Amino acid sequence: MSLPDTLPKVDFMVRVRDESIGGDNPFKWVTFTSEDYFKGKKVVLFSLPGAFTPTCSTYQLPGFEKNAEEFKKLGIDEIYCLSVNDSFVMNKWAQAQDLKSVKVIPDGSLKFTNAMNMNVQKDNHGFGQRSWRYAVVANDMKIEQTFVEPGKCENGSVDDDPYGASSPENILKYLKGEEFDKGA
């Protein structure tokens, strides 16, 4: 499984709160670039099949949120969660998960996911195109370590949702210099 050496440069359309708008829907569309998120920072970026899905909502996202201070102590400036969902869904998911530390990135158009070579078809789940589950540690856009779940495939069996290599616990092991699972 080969990921690029650097995080791809793409644009993301993000819905952000703007109190100057007023009314019941004080949000506007803003374009953020990969560089806005990642340049000049050491980050953990993890990508998963979808917001509100069981493994993502029960283990992976809450695990990163719970361990955010530990990641900071080990030199991580930001933790980002990327999913092939639109900004409305990602913002609502962040709210539902009561996120304070992990930042969400919507990749509804798959620009980033395609550039990372992590796009998979999940029609067997009714999802369509999604990201395979993976994580990276990157420093100033350069990928230092990848954590790709094994078995990447199109429309795998209903049970094909491996989780371990991209877990926060495994990435913490890497950052501490302990033995860790590199994944695929």
Is domain 11-176 classified as CATH 3.40.50.2300?
Answer: no
d(CA 63, CA 66): 5
Contact 69, 44 (CB under 8 A): no
Q: Is 8 exposed, middle or buried (0-12, 13-18, 19+ CB in 10 A)?
A: middle
Q: How many CA atoms lie within 13 A of 91 on its CB side?
A: 11
CA distance 159 to 138: 30
Question: Residue 102 class from Cβ within 10 Å (0-12 exposed, 13-18 middle, 19+ buried)?
Answer: buried
What distance, in Å, lies between the first and last C-alpha atoms of the chain?
Answer: 6
Do 21 and 27 touch, CB atoms closer than 8 A? yes
pLDDT computed for residue 71 by the predictor: 98
Selecting among 44, 51, 56, 94, the annotated active-site residue is 56
Task: Provide CB contacts within 8 A for 153, sequence distance 6+.
Answer: 120, 160
Global pTM reads: 0.93
Asked about 56 being catalytic, the answer comes back as yes
Instruction: Give me the residue spans of the domains in the chain.
Output: 11-176
pLDDT in tens, the chain (184 residues): 578 999 999 999 998 888 888 888 888 899 999 999 999 999 999 999 888 888 888 889 999 999 999 999 999 999 999 999 999 999 999 999 999 999 999 999 999 999 999 998 787 777 778 888 999 999 999 999 999 999 887 776 656 778 899 999 999 999 999 999 988 7
**CB atoms near residue 67 (< 10 Å):** 22
Q: Residue 93: what residue type?
A: W
